[in-house]
């Protein structure tokens, strides 16, 4: 099996700062709009889209957890 570095490792990657929920929602919508324009036939664009959406989703879930008073 080949070795690789995962996009996110919860054991070693810390989540810095939780945005307010409304800001996280606004950013998620903006990022979805931006990434929807990516060329599905361009591998680099797809990688950038996946990474961007990953980080936005992490922030959104952290904001939702904070709003509900839960830890991440």
Q: pLDDT tens digits for the chain (72 residues)? A: 568 777 777 777 766 789 999 999 999 999 999 999 999 999 999 999 999 999 999 999 999 999 999 764
Q: Which of 48, 56, 58 is nearest to 31 (CA)?
A: 56
Query: Which domain does 56 fall in, by range?
Result: 25-67
Q: Is 38 within a domain?
A: yes
Give the dihedral sign, CA 59/64/68/11: negative
Number of domains, the chain: 1
Q: Answer yes or no: pTM beyond 0.85.
A: no
Q: Is 51 within a domain?
A: yes
Q: Is 30 within a domain?
A: yes
**Buried-state track 28-53, b at ≥16 Cβ within 10 A, e below 16:** beebeeebeebeeeeeeeeeebeeee
Q: Is 44 within a domain?
A: yes
């Amino acid at each position: 099996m080949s070795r690789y570095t995962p996009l996110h490792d919860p054991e070693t990657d810390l989540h810095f700062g939780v945005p307010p929920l409304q800001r996280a929602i606004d950013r998620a919508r903006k990022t979805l709009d931006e990434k929807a324009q990516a060329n599905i036939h361009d591998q680099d664009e797809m990688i950038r889209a996946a990474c961007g959406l990953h980080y936005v989703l992490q922030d959104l879930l952290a904001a939702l957890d904070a709003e509900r008073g839960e830890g991440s």
